Amino acid sequence: MHHEMSSEPSETCCCSEHGFLEHLTDDQKKKIMIMQMDMKIHWMEQKIKHMEGAIEGKKKMIANMRQIQEMLKQNKVEVEEAEVEPIHPSENRGGKKRGLLDTCK
């Protein structure tokens, strides 16, 4: 009987497929069951560590994105402030005075 390879541990030991458990004592069967459980626990711990690493990476990315957003907001405010220059109507703007019809070309 052929099993597909997966990242999840097999629920049964390869020994049970061949009937080896039938020839073991109850104590030996218990030890095998404990070994199987230990392997499953180890696999789950590894999976959890992998997930925690992915979560930490995502938290770092979110923090970096927030910093970038804050920088962009600050730059936008600075640019907006720099572009707006109040000019009083009595001030000379440095351009040639033209009539109203000349400006509508």
Confidence band of 18 (pLDDT split at 50, 70, 90): low
Other C-beta atoms within 10 Å of 8: how many? 9
pLDDT exceeds cutoff 50 at 73: yes
pLDDT on residue 105: 54
Q: How far is CA 65 from CA 38, 51, 60, 105, in A?
A: 41, 21, 9, 46
pLDDT exceeds cutoff 50 at 2: no
pTM: 0.46
> What's the mean per-residue pLDDT of the chain?
78
Q: Which SS3 state, helix, strand or coil, does residue 44 take?
A: helix
Angle at Cα 96 formed by Cα 95 and Cα 102, nearest 5°?
120
